[in-house]
Each structure stands twice: as structure tokens, then as C-alpha cells.
Amino acid sequence: MMGPDFSAIKAILFDKDGTLLRYDESWGPVNREAARIAADGDSELEARLLSTGGMDDVTGHTSADSLFAAGSAADIARGLVAAGSPLAVADLTEKLDALFLRGAEYSVPATDLAGFFKRLKARGFKLGVASSDNEAAIRATAARFGFAQYLDFVTGYDTGHGVKPEPGMLLAFARAIGMEPRQVAMVGDNNHDMHVGQSAGAGMKIAVLTGTGTSETLSPLADIVLADITLIEDLLP
């Protein structure tokens, strides 16, 4: 089968969790800890909050487009407080932000990210990362896996370009690199990412299966669904 036509694409904007990083391996331990913090010592509540977040306690899988999979620290805090966490939303947001920053230490990359970004850069692409995580955590991940120097743009939920699934992050990337949204490919693992691409007028929407989405959940919105980011290189002219 022929993949989508990459000839007009000059820039690629990547989601982080589930796209650059394998979601369940990287975030399973972190989500469990988030529920523990939010439950404040109540183990029955902890199990309920884990489920509210979208994680299956037994399989360790987090479901697509759930609170944990797609929400920012503030979204998750609001959701967990609504589900019974005794903490104040602002306090819990602060604790979760700190946890997610430490969470970079647990990350399992989808591939050798330094090599991957270096090869894309060598082909002349402008590269960015747009995540529902905080900007500091994204930069910590980029530094840890050695691809920070290849990035032209980084935006988190707290950077000021709006949040997913709004188009702001992709539009800000296009502005920052002096290109039209149609020259940008959006790459992500859930429908929030595909909606960003769609609403911003991205030239291509690429979904990967290293996160919480499945072929069934992603193919209606994506131009192509790939097993992981490394297969993007096979699509290039």
C-alpha cells in the first residue's frame, strides 16, 4: 500500500507520551503513584481513582483518551478531586506536576530517539514536541534521551499555546518556524492529537500504536496508522 504523500511536508510535530515514549511501560508506575497521592492514604479510594484515571489495575493498561492518557496535570487533578480525592485541586496539580517531572526517569523510549531525530534533521525537517505534560518535563525527556539539540520547538500545557485538542500548539509551531500548518505533519497516539492536526489544518495526521490508542480508535481520524514512529522514515521521499 502507498502511504500518504510526504512531499509537501517540511515539519513534524510529535506528541510525547505514547508516541516518543512507550505509554504503558513509561506511565504505568507514574499513574499508580498519582492515584496514591490523590487518595491521601485511603487504599479503597486509591483503587477507585486509578480506575477514574483510566488505568486497569490488573493489566496495567491505560485506556485511550482517558484522563491519564490525554489530560494535563490540572485536568487530572480536577478529575480526581471530582471523583473523591480530599486534596484541593491547586495542591494536587502541583504535586502531580512534580511527579510527572520525576516520571521522566521511568520513561521507556519507542526507539533510539537521538538517532531518529538526528536523521530527520539531516533530511531538513523542522521538529517539535507538543505534549499535555508540562514544558519542563518535556525538556527533561529531550535532554535525557539526547535529542534536545534537534528540536526547533517545545510546548507543554503550561507554555501558553493552549491545550489539546485545541489547534493552538500546532499553529504556534508553524508560526515559530515560519511555515503554513499544511506543511506540518502531526504525530500522536490518541484522538486528542488527531483533533489537533485536524482543527489546525495540518498537512498530515499520523497515528502510532505505542500509546493508548488502537487501529480501531485511530483510523477514522488519522491519514495513516503506524506501529511506531520509526516507520515514518519509510514514508519519506
What's the pLDDT score for residue 1?
41
Question: What's the distance, CA 189 to chain centroid?
Answer: 7
Put simply, whether the predicted model's pTM sits higher than 0.85 gets the answer: yes
Owner of C-alpha cell 535525557: 144
Res 127 pLDDT > 50 = yes
* pLDDT (mean) for 20-25: 96
Around Cβ 44, how many Cβ atoms within 10 Å?
Answer: 9
- The region of weakest confidence among 42-51, 100-109, 118-127, 175-184 is 100-109
Around Cβ 88, how many Cβ atoms within 10 Å?
Answer: 11
Which pLDDT band holds residue 105 (cuts at 50, 70, 90)? confident
Beta bridge partners of 14: 129, 187
Percentage above 70 pLDDT, the chain: 99
Which pLDDT band holds residue 2 (cuts at 50, 70, 90)? low
pLDDT digits (tens, 9 = 90+) for 74-94: 999 999 999 999 999 999 999
CB 131 within 8 A of CB 211: no
Res 3 pLDDT > 80 = no
More reliable by pLDDT, 179 or 65: 179
Res 147 pLDDT > 80 = yes
Boundaries of every domain in the chain: 11-22+109-235, 24-106
Res 211 pLDDT > 80 = yes
Percentage above 90 pLDDT, the chain: 94
Paired sense of beta strands 126-130 and 184-188, if any = unpaired
Looking at every residue in the chain, the average pLDDT score rounds to 95
What's the pLDDT score for residue 237?
85
What's the pLDDT score for residue 98?
95
Res 222 pLDDT > 80 = yes
Its CATH class, for the domain covering 11-22+109-235, is alpha beta
